[in-house]
């Protein structure tokens, strides 16, 4: 069911809410200096909160396309909207605490943040490659600015520069790929592209196009070999931005990756879970290798890092690799695993970054060595960080384990054992560097004995991140069901 | 009373627990608890003995069996006791010697700081030994077998502050364990073949042919290995002389009368399982032992060491006797030996107690100072030397007769008799050498002589009792055709059916069981007996005479003889260098192996993955990280590989943007090439 | 009583966790209250274990028959992937549950002297106990796996924070090694999940007992090559825990660096999980592969016995010696299991139980002397027997128990292993049995160097073992002795099940 | 002018752009390379729109690309400007603080 532009607006309320908030922020900024420095943060919080609420209230129905088939309103889109909105809320909390950002103009920061959110909303929902490209750039361009937000800091500028050049190149390659696809099928509607491809032949150009598109998506999810920007950008960017980039755009990147490939390349027989496109290429093997290489490189390089932020950057590359496991077979179960993993990843990864922000506030350092004795100096933060790190490792009873089980499960179910083994060994490797932080925090004596105070508000936020990380490791049925439903409702 | 036989071992066990727990706080430090326990045991044993004696049935057997282990009926071990004539005799021997040693110890150990502990250990030994005697299955005899070993360990190491004692107890236990290993394998073979553990059941199984031939021989030799260890037979005899580091009553009880005889008892107990080949091994092991230890005893200066080697040698007699088919003879010698050897050891204890030395060349003339000790010692010596009228003569003569009979049947094995006879002479010689040097002649150390004194009654009374028991008439009325022992403990029928025996050795079967002897056999036996008797009396007399000649009358100066054959003398004084040999091979070998393996474990197994790591690192030798990786050691190997590969990938992250774009382009290219080819 | 009886396994598992939660809520500085809570929380499973023992019906086997399990708690947990909360006990798990209850409590008492961060220590310890109980009680593979992994975290911290000088290294080594084992297990678990069908619902299942019915397997899972690979995956996971040569090198480090009570738990209970896992999971699910793998298992078992003993002999660190002796003793378990005879299997299981007690004693005893002398160098002592007779007495008892002296439970176990394995595996038993000589040698050698001989004057004033330590040791010593003289109470618990297990393995093909 | 020729031109343009990105050290020049790639894509869109699709979807897409490229260029140039302000250069080689 295609809805016209006006009719669509009623189903577009979350996006409108975000847009309104952006405009409001600009207005407030232009209108004059607010007396409360926290005002823009609170305003955006309210806006995103409202958007989240509206998302939650949105009726999901399969096949409802808005704006003449530009945007889908299915469970999949709603899932990602909720996810990214939630991530944005946490990042706003984080930004309010971060000393990096203190004293700078706040409004623009939140305007960029919310713009990215808007882009992610559209990215997750877009069913037309024009919309997709637009949304992708809407995510990317403010991201460049966010990465370089620390004006005086050289590293921040460097990060922004690398990000923008790399991002522009990647999107350029992608758009060239899109142009080829368009030429092969004569349409910009993903579903129709898929149908046209299913009918047509010409495997080689299709493959070239697919490879080029993969560059763009790979850049967004930071999959090897398109990941090179991410460690530098993650390290140079302000920590809340790093946290945001490692969750939000990455999730949106997965959303679009899944939606695009699923719609365009997957066999209509969803249960079979087979790629319908050029059988001469072992797509499973290709993406399997991509996944294996991504997780291995991320984990191996992370071992030698001494900067926590950079370590987490590599870890998030590795996690992209894990999540790609769910993608290699393009089956609903695999996609469900990705969705589930993104939920738990949101909590554990943002939680880890949150602690990094708190520690940096106290010590001014992001070096692992400066975490020594954190277990004594700030037990609450240290225990929380330990929980997040072990969850990232994938050890029960934390949610990360369950996420991994789902990812492993589909791969094993379809008999891709080598990938499961690689991923399992990667888990062991990852323990090595995660545990290194834990070791420094708990097993080493503090260099300074002064306690690091963690105020009540961050404590509360940390708990809100830690408790789901723990609870989802023990009872995850509702989330699993939501993830399953979201996949099932994916519009074709 | 037989029904209550199981109480006999339990009494000392109770005494053990009492003494170990509260012994020190009891009046008299609890010695009476142990003595009462063993005394009651003795009374019961005697009662049982007389009951059995009254029944007077050679085939008498009394079983009590309870289920103990039961694995769903698929594996069953029963606990129980077996009382037959042999058991009854052994009970009396064990409880009797044990009681006397207990009493003796009251005086000997007086004032020791761990007095009550000593009695506790004696009790636990008595318990284990009695359990061993009463056991009715291979499984249980093995259990008690180990337990007596521990008791022996504890008692040898009783004065553990002495390094020599600490060494000796360890040595005793480990050497015994080596024998036990064989025992274990032996009974495992039997169990796996027959599926049962009780003696009679196993014999039944063997006679049904469930196990035969070489395997059965191996089983027999395996079980005999246990006896080799416990009865200090060649080549595991080395622990026994060292075990003399224990208090002397312990030496008397454990290392002379009872525990070391357990090996003999074991061989006797499982007699029916041995194949002719196994018997031959037994006979020759016994022969080697009796000869080697007798020669060592010739040159020893330590009163207890002489006795220890003589014990070894006598045990060799018994084992050899059993091996050549003299079942009754061997076991009879076990019984008689228990009395006179205990007497000798306690006597030596009395002497040591008096002069505080064990070197016989520091003694002399003690006859005047300690008449009871001397008299009893001499009586026992007469017995061991094989002088007619004493128990030793009676039993040893039977062994010689058996050996001769075996030699007459199988002339190629005549050497057994010859060597044994010669050794019997040596026995008389070195025992009288001991007596003469200790009790006669002039005191060689006047200081020690002056302080010497007769021991208190609680030490001398046991001596007297044991000496009295060293006369032959207890075992055989004078001029009687057969002693009661011969009647009551006849040779059991072999379970090894001839048809299952290895044909090649069929001719070498041991003598037929009693009662089945043909006319020819009877004649042969009689003839052998006569020759053996005269020759044994002859060599004994010769030995005694020689001893008197050399050490009393000074016909020859023994030192000069020693100087004339310095190599031989050194060889004997150094006990044939067995200790050195074992130290150099087995002990150091094991230690070296263990160190090597520990090194292997630390550096190779632990570093196994490390090894792969090192190979990988060699490849990346350019990085010059080799040292780090090697020094790192340990399982970090995996980590090393991982980290190294991390560094490898890390090098791509140069920070230079155009490198990144290269990689991006390269990635697309690779993906495309995958497709293209 | 009804509630308790219905949820007895859950209570045993989660009472310690509740204790940990309470401890975490305590304010700082209440060390004694924390210790008391920990003691109570770890004690409560003991009466429950007694109750369990009393109510256990020894005549039903369990193993692979669902309705023969006792104290079953079976609830749906995550219906969408059929994860169930499924606990139950049979003869394989009963001795381990009882052992865990006892040893954990004693270990808490043994930890009384911990000074540093007692709150965290006790909380982690109780979490560990929950993990251990859970492993032995769960019948759902997923649940089993969760508990299996849950133990890793507290163990890592307990070694890493409260351990010896090289604690950080030992802790991470332990962690990485065991995680490596368990991820393999995870893969096998998922492979089983997707290739077997719950006969009742038709869906996939994590229920171990379903995997044991060959009829639930699909064609792929019936392929022998596949089964071998899956079996090996599980086997390596369990072998690391046992630990079997050559996966054992984490053990000496972890045991030596861990604080006393944790060494006790490690050696006393954690090692048993490896062999328990083989009995509970590997053997019944892959009976055919088990039979195919008998010889390698026997080889590994024998290597463990002899190699472990020889390595122990070369150690100069008393604790390391004891650690290697565990390697040796666990070899007996494997040898017994490999034989696939009732006696061998029961012997192996009894060895697990017995070694749990004996090695706990040994580690406690090493801890006692280390607390006083602050080193464990065997050659650095000498003649202590004269100074500390009571301590010497306990050490002697423990050493003799450990070297397999009749009268102690270790002998029964080893003898049964030998008797059970001799039929099918003669050569291995003969080589393995030579281990008893080496085991005796290194125990006595150590005993001699530490306690016998002339007194080292440095330790003339050594403090005698105290009442609390005696309190820890006595129950273990008495149990070792009692079950060495009369093992039937424990054997009866496991007989029916283990005989069934042997039959299950042997019947196939 | 047929579709083939247009495609060749676009491919050549793409390669030129990529070459510029890979070889140029000046950030602005790299940005120009990106613009070339985008324009290569635009040529494709318009060409395909004309020859294949016969609807204007492709041409609209091209317009979008042009607009977004402008936005991207604006942001990129702003960032380069800031880089020039802090480091005094826009050579991308100079920016290698973040690595490893």
Q: What is the 3-state secondary structure of A379-420? A: HHHHHHHHHHHHHHHCCCCCHHHHHHHHHHHHHHHCCCHHHH
Whether residue A286 sits in one domain with residue A260: no
Of residues A491 and B587, the one with the higher pLDDT is B587
Whether residue A127 sits in one domain with residue A22: yes
User: Considering chain A, what is the average pLDDT of its residues?
Assistant: 85
Each residue's pLDDT tens digit, B588-619: 777 777 777 777 777 766 666 555 444 433 43
| Nearest residue in A to D98, CA atom | A232
What's the confidence (pLDDT) of residue B275?
85
Whether residue A447 sits in one domain with residue A340: yes
Q: Say whether residue C444 is in contact with chain B using an 8 A CB cutoff.
A: yes
In a domain, A270, yes or no: no
What's the confidence (pLDDT) of residue B649?
66
Q: Say whether residue D94 is in contact with chain B using an 8 A CB cutoff.
A: no
- Partners of C317 in the β-ladder: C377
Whether residue A344 sits in one domain with residue A248: no
Residues A113, A247: Cα–Cα separation, whole Å? 13
Each residue's pLDDT tens digit, B380-407: 888 888 888 888 888 888 888 888 888 8
- Partners of A266 in the β-ladder: A275
Most confident of B15-19, C178-182, C361-365, D12-16: C361-365
pLDDT above 70 as % of chain B: 85
Q: Say whether residue C455 is in contact with chain B using an 8 A CB cutoff.
A: yes
Each residue's pLDDT tens digit, A183-198: 888 888 888 888 887 7
Compute the nearest-CA separation of C400 from chain A (Å): 37
The total number of residues shown for chain D amounts to 100
Q: Please name the residues in contact with C191: beta carbons below 8 A apart, sequence gap of 6 or more.
A: A412, A417, C221, C230
Residues A476-485, mean pLDDT to the nearest whole number: 87
Which residues in chain C are closer than 8 Å to B181, comparing Cβ atoms?
433-434, 436-437
Note whether B598 contacts C406, CB cutoff 8 Å.
no
Q: What is the pTM of this model?
A: 0.88
Residues B350-371, mean pLDDT to the nearest whole number: 79
Q: The tokens of C265 are what?
A: 């738990």
Whether residue A188 sits in one domain with residue A138: yes
Residues B471, C504: Cα–Cα separation, whole Å? 65
Q: Please name the residues in contact with A243: beta carbons below 8 A apart, sequence gap of 6 or more.
A: A90, A91, A94, A349, A350, A353, A354, A357
Residues A386, A374: Cα–Cα separation, whole Å? 11
Helix (H) or strand (E) holding C87: strand C83-89
Whether residue A147 sits in one domain with residue A256: yes
In a domain, A88, yes or no: yes
Compute the nearest-CA separation of D67 from chain B (Å): 24
Note whether C78 contacts A476, CB cutoff 8 Å.
yes
Of chain C residues 173-192, which have a CB less than 8 A from chain A?
Answer: 175-176, 179-180, 183-184, 186-187, 190-191
Q: Which range marks the domain in which residue A67 is found?
A: 1-265
Of residues A479 and B353, the one with the higher pLDDT is A479
Task: Give C126's pLDDT tier (boundaries 50, 70, 90).
Answer: very high
Q: Which chains would you list as touching B if contact means 3+ CB atom pairs under 8 Å?
A: A, C, D
Q: Which of B664, B666, B672 to mutate to test the interface with A (most CBs of A within 10 A)?
A: B664
Alpha carbons within 13 angstroms on the beta-carbon side of residue C462 total 30
Residues C365, C384: Cα–Cα separation, whole Å? 13
Q: Please name the residues in contact with C265: beta carbons below 8 A apart, sequence gap of 6 or more.
A: C103, C104, C107, C128, C132
Which residues in chain A are closer than 8 Å to D21, comparing Cβ atoms?
165, 169
- Touch criterion met for B and C (3+ Cβ pairs within 8 Å): yes
Q: The tokens of C360 are what?
A: 């706990």
CB C428 within 8 A of CB C301: yes
Whether residue A259 sits in one domain with residue A209: yes
Q: Say whether residue A420 is in contact with chain C using an 8 A CB cutoff.
A: yes
Question: What does residue B140 show for φ and ψ, rounded to 5 degrees?
Answer: -75, -35
Residue A275 has pLDDT above 80, yes or no: no
User: Considering chain B, what is the average pLDDT of its residues?
Assistant: 79
Residues B94, B338: Cα–Cα separation, whole Å? 8
Whether residue A247 sits in one domain with residue A328: no
In a domain, A98, yes or no: yes
Report which of B346, B358, B377, B341 is spatially closest to residue B104, judged by C-alpha positions: B346
What's the confidence (pLDDT) of residue B658?
65
Question: What does residue B90 show for φ and ψ, rounded to 5 degrees?
Answer: -60, -35
Letter string b/e over residues B84-110, b meaning 16 or more CB atoms within 10 A of that residue's CB? bbbbbbbbbbbbbbbbbbbbbbbbbbe
Task: Give B329's pLDDT tier (boundaries 50, 70, 90).
Answer: confident
CB B34 within 8 A of CB B15: yes
Whether residue A131 sits in one domain with residue A2: yes
Last residue of a domain, one of A265, A289, A322: A265
In a domain, A436, yes or no: yes
Each residue's pLDDT tens digit, A446-468: 877 778 888 888 899 999 999 99
Q: What is the 3-state secondary structure of B249-260? A: HHHHHHHHHCHH
Topology of domain D3-88, CATH: Helix Hairpins (1.10.287)
Residues C389-403, mean pLDDT to the nearest whole number: 89
Hey, how many other C-beta atoms are within 10 angstroms of the C-beta on B451? 12
Tell me which residue has tokens 């083989």: C278
Whether residue A384 sits in one domain with residue A288: yes
Which residues in chain B are closer than 8 Å to D23, comparing Cβ atoms?
658
Within chain C, how many helices (H) and strands (E) appear?
25, 2
| Nearest residue in B to A226, CA atom | B664
Each residue's pLDDT tens digit, C137-153: 999 999 999 999 988 88
Compute the nearest-CA separation of C95 from chain B (Å): 15
The number of distinct structural domains making up chain A is 2
Residues A389, A372: Cα–Cα separation, whole Å? 16
In a domain, A271, yes or no: no
Last residue of a domain, one of A265, A296, A313: A265
Alpha-carbon Rg for chain C, nearest whole angstrom, is: 22
Residues C121, C128: Cα–Cα separation, whole Å? 10
Tell me which residue has tokens 């060689």: B444
Q: Please name the residues in contact with D52: beta carbons below 8 A apart, sequence gap of 6 or more.
A: A182, A183, A186, D3
Q: Say whether residue C431 is in contact with chain B using an 8 A CB cutoff.
A: no
In a domain, A274, yes or no: no
Report which of D54, D33, B665, D9 is spatially closest to residue A183, judged by C-alpha positions: D54
Whether residue A255 sits in one domain with residue A107: yes
Compute the nearest-CA separation of A376 from chain C (Å): 10
- Per DSSP, the residues of B377-421 read HHHHHHHHHT-TTBHHHHHHHHHHHHHHHHHHHSGGGHHHHHHHH
The interface pTM score, or ipTM, of the predicted complex is 0.84
User: What does the domain layout of chain D look like in residue ranges?
Assistant: 3-88
pLDDT above 70 as % of chain C: 99
- Per DSSP, the residues of A281-337 read S-HHHHHHHHHHHHHHHHHHHHHT--BHHHHHHHHHHHHHHHHHHTTTT--HHHHHH
CB A327 within 8 A of CB A306: no
Whether residue A285 sits in one domain with residue A229: no
Of chain B residues 651-670, which have a CB less than 8 A from chain D?
Answer: 653-658, 661-662, 665
Each residue's pLDDT tens digit, B420-474: 888 888 888 888 888 888 888 777 777 777 777 777 777 788 888 888 888 877 7
- Which residue in A166, A300, A432 is closest to B660 by CB distance? A166
Residues C170, C158: Cα–Cα separation, whole Å? 11
Residues C122, A58: Cα–Cα separation, whole Å? 48
- Partners of D26 in the β-ladder: D91
Note whether B71 contacts C495, CB cutoff 8 Å.
yes
- Partners of C377 in the β-ladder: C317
- Touch criterion met for D and B (3+ Cβ pairs within 8 Å): yes
Each residue's pLDDT tens digit, B82-130: 888 888 888 888 898 888 888 888 878 888 888 888 888 888 889 999 9
Q: Say whether residue A173 is in contact with chain D using an 8 A CB cutoff.
A: yes
pLDDT above 70 as % of chain A: 92
């Amino acid at each position: 069911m295609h809805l016209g532009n006006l009719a669509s607006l009623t189903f577009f309320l979350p996006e409108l809410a975000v847009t309104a908030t952006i405009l409001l922020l600009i207005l407030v900024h232009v209108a004059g200096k607010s007396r409360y420095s926290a005002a823009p943060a609170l305003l955006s919080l309210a806006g995103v909160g409202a958007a989240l609420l509206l998302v939650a209230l949105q009726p999901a129905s399969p096949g409802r396309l808005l704006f003449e088939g530009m945007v889908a309103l299915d469970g999949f889109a709603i899932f990602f909207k909720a996810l990214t909105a939630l991530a944005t809320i946490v990042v706003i909390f984080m930004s309010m605490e971060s000393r990096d950002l203190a004293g700078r103009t706040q409004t623009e920061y939140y305007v960029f943040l919310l713009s990215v959110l808007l882009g992610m909303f559209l990215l997750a929902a877009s069913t037309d490659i024009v919309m997709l490209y637009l949304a992708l750039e809407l995510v990317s361009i403010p991201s460049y600015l966010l990465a370089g937000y620390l004006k005086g800091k050289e590293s921040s500028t460097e990060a922004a520069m690398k990000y923008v050049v790399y991002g522009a190149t990647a999107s350029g390659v992608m758009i060239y790929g899109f142009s080829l696809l368009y030429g092969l099928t004569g349409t910009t509607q993903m579903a129709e592209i898929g149908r046209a491809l299913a009918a047509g032949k010409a495997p080689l150009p299709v493959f070239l196009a697919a490879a080029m598109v993969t560059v763009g998506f790979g850049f967004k999810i930071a999959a090897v070999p398109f990941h090179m920007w991410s460690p530098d950008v993650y390290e140079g960017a302000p920590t809340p931005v790093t946290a945001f980039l490692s969750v939000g755009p990455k999730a949106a990147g997965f959303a679009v990756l899944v939606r695009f490939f699923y719609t365009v390349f997957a066999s209509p027989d969803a249960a079979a879970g087979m790629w319908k496109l050029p059988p001469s290429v072992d797509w499973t093997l290709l993406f399997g290798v991509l996944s294996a290489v991504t997780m291995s490189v991320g984990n191996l390089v992370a071992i030698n890092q001494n900067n926590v932020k950079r370590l987490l950057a590599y870890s998030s590359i590795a996690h992209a690799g894990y999540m790609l496991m769910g993608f290699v077979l393009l089956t609903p179960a695999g996609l469900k695993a990705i969705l589930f993993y993104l939920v738990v990843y949101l909590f554990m990864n943002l939680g880890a970054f949150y602690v990094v922000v708190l520690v940096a506030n106290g010590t001014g350092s992001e070096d692992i060595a400066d975490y020594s004795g954190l277990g004594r100096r700030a037990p609450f933060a240290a225990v929380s960080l330990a929980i997040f790190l072990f969850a990232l490792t994938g050890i029960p009873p934390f949610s990360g384990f369950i996420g991994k089980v789902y990812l492993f499960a589909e791969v094993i179910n379809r008999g891709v054992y080598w990938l499961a083994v690689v991923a399992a060994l990667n888990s062991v490797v990852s323990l090595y560097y995660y545990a290194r932080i834990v070791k420094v925090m708990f097993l080493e004596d503090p260099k300074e004995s002064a306690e690091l105070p963690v105020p009540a508000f961050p404590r509360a936020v940390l708990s809100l991140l830690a408790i789901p990380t723990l609870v989802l490791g023990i009872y995850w049925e509702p989330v699993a069901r939501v993830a399953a439903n979201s996949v099932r409702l994916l519009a074709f | 009373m037989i029904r209550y036989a199981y109480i006999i071992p339990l009494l000392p066990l109770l005494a053990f627990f009492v003494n170990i727990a509260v012994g020190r706080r009891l009046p008299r430090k609890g010695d009476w608890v142990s003595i009462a326990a063993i005394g009651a045991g003795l009374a019961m044993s005697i009662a049982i003995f007389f009951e059995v004696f009254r029944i007077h049935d050679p085939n008498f057997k009394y079983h009590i069996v309870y289920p103990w282990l039961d694995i769903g009926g698929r594996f069953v071990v029963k606990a129980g006791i077996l009382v037959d004539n042999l058991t009854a005799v052994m009970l009396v021997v064990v409880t009797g010697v044990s009681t006397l040693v207990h009493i003796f110890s009251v005086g000997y150990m007086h004032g020791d700081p761990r007095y009550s502990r000593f009695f506790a250990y004696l009790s636990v030994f008595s318990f284990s030994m009695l359990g061993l005697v009463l056991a009715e299955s291979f499984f249980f005899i093995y259990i008690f077998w180990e337990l007596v070993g521990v008791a022996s360990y504890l008692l040898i190491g009783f004065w553990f502050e002495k390094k020599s004692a600490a060494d000796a107890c360890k040595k005793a236990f480990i050497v015994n364990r080596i024998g036990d290993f064989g025992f274990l394998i032996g009974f495992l073979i039997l169990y796996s073949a027959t599926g049962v553990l009780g003696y009679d059941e196993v014999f039944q199984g063997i006679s049904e042919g469930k196990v035969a031939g070489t395997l059965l021989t191996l089983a027999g030799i395996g079980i005999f290995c246990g006896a080799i260890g416990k009865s200090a037979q060649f080549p595991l005899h080395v622990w026994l002389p060292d075990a003399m580091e224990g208090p002397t009553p312990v030496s008397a009880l454990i290392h002379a009368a009872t525990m070391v005889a357990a090996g003999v008892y074991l061989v006797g107990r499982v007699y029916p399982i041995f194949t002719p080949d196994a018997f031959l091994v037994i006979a020759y092991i016994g022969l080697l032992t009796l000869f080697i230890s007798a020669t060592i005893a010739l040159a020893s200066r330590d009163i207890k060491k002489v006795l220890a080697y003589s014990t070894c040698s006598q045990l060799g007699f018994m084992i050899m006797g059993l091996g050549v088919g003299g079942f009754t003879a061997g076991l009879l010698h076990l019984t008689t030996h228990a009395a006179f050897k205990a007497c000798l050891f306690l006597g030596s204890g009395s002497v040591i107690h008096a002069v505080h030395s064990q070197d016989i060349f520091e003694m002399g003339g003690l006859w005047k100072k300690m008449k009871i000790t001397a008299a009893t010692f001499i009586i026992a010596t007469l017995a061991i030397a094989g002088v007619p009228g004493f128990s030793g003569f009676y039993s040893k003569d039977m062994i010689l007769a058996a050996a001769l009979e075996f030699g007459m049947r199988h002339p190629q094995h005549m050497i057994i008799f010859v060597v044994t006879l010669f050794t019997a002479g040596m026995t008389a010689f070195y025992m009288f050498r001991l007596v003469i040097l200790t009790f006669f002649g002039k005191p060689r150390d006047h200081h020690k002589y002056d302080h010497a004194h007769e021991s208190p009654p609680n030490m001398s009374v046991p001596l007297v009792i044991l000496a009295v028991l060293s006369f032959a008439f207890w075992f055989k009325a004078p001029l009687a055709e057969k002693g009661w022992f011969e009647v009551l403990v006849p040779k059991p029928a072999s379970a090894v059916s001839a048809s299952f025996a290895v044909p090649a050795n069929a001719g070498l079967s041991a003598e037929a069981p009693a009662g089945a002897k043909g006319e020819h056999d009877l004649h042969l036996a009689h003839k052998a007996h006569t020759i053996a008797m005269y020759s044994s009396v002859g060599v004994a007399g010769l030995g005694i005479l020689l001893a008197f000649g050399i050490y009393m009358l000074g016909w020859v100066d023994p030192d000069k003889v020693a100087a004339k054959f310095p190599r031989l003398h050194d060889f004997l004084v150094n006990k044939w260098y067995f200790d050195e040999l074992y130290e150099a091979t087995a002990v150091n070998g094991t230690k070296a192996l263990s160190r090597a393996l520990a090194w292997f474990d630390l550096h190779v197994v632990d570093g196994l993955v490390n090894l792969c790591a090192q190979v990988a690192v060699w490849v990346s030798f350019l990085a010059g990280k080799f040292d780090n990786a090697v020094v790192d050691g340990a399982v970090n190997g995996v980590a090393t590989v991982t980290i190294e590969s991390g560094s490898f990938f890390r090098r791509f992250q140069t920070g230079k943007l155009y490198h990144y774009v290269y990689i991006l382009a390269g990635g697309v290219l690779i993906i495309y090439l995958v497709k293209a080819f | 009583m009804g509630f308790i009886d219905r949820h007895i396994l859950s209570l045993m598992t989660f009472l310690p966790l509740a204790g940990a939660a309470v401890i975490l809520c305590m304010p700082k500085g209440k060390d004694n209250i924390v210790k008391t809570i920990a003691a109570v929380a770890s004690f409560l499973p003991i009466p429950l274990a007694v109750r369990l023992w009393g109510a256990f019906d020894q005549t039903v086997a369990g193993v692979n028959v669902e309705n023969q399990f006792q104290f079953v708690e079976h609830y749906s947990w995550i219906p969408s992937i059929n994860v169930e909360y499924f606990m139950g006990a049979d003869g394989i798990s009963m001795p381990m549950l009882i052992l865990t209850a006892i040893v954990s409590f004693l270990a808490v008492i043994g930890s009384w002297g911990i000074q540093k961060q007692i709150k965290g220590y006790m909380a982690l310890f109780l979490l560990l106990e929950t993990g251990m109980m859970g492993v032995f009680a769960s019948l759902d593979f997923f649940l089993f796996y969760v508990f299996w992994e849950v133990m890793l975290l507290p163990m890592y911290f307990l070694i890493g924070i409260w351990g010896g000088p090289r604690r950080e290294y030992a802790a991470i080594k332990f962690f990485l090694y065991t995680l490596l084992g368990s991820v393999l297990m995870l893969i096998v678990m998922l492979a089983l999940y997707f290739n077997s069908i719950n006969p009742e619902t038709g869906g996939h299942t994590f229920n171990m007992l379903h995997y044991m019915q060959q009829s639930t397997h699909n064609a792929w899972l019936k392929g022998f090559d596949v089964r071998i690979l899956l079996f090996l995956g599980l086997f390596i996971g369990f072998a690391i825990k046992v630990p079997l040569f050559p996966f054992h090198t984490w053990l000496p480090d972890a045991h030596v660096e861990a604080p006393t009570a944790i060494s006790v738990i490690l050696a006393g209970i954690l090692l048993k999980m490896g062999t328990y896992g083989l009995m509970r999971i590997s053997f019944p699910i892959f009976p055919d592969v088990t039979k195919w793998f008998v010889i390698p298992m026997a080889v590994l078992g024998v290597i463990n016995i002899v190699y472990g003993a020889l390595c122990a002999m070369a150690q100069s660190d008393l604790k390391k010696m004891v650690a290697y002796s565990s390697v040796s003793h666990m070899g007996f378990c494997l040898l017994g299991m490999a034989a696939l005879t009732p006696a061998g299997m029961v012997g192996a299981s009894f060895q697990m139980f017995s070694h749990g007690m004996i090695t706990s004693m040994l580690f406690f005893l090493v801890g006692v002397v280390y607390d006083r002398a602050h080193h464990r160098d065997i050659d650095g002592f000498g003649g202590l027997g004269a100074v500390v007779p009571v301590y010497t007495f306990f050490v002697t008892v423990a050493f003799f128990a450990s070297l397999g002296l009749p009268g102690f439970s270790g002998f029964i176990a080893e003898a049964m292993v030998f008797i059970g394995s001799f039929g099918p595996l003669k050569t291995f038993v003969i080589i393995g049995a030579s281990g008893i000589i080496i085991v005796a040698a290194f125990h006595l050698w150590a005993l001699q160097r530490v306690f016998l001989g002339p007194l080292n004057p440095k330790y003339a004033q050594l403090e005698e073992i105290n009442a609390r330590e005696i309190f820890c040791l006595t129950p273990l010593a008495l149990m070792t002795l009692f079950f060495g003289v009369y093992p039937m109470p424990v054997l009866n618990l496991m007989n029916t099940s283990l005989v069934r297990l042997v039959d299950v393995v042997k019947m196939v093909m | 002018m047929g579709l083939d020729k247009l495609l060749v031109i676009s491919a050549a343009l793409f390669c030129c752009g990529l070459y510029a990105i890979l070889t140029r050290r000046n950030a602005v020049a790299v940005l120009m390379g990106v613009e070339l790639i985008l324009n290569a894509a635009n040529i494709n869109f318009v060409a395909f729109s004309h020859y294949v699709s016969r609807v204007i979807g492709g041409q609209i897409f091209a317009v979008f690309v042009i607009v977004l490229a402008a936005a991207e260029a604006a942001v990129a140039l702003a960032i380069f400007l800031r880089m020039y302000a802090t480091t005094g250069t826009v050579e991308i080689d100079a920016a290698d603080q973040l690595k490893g």
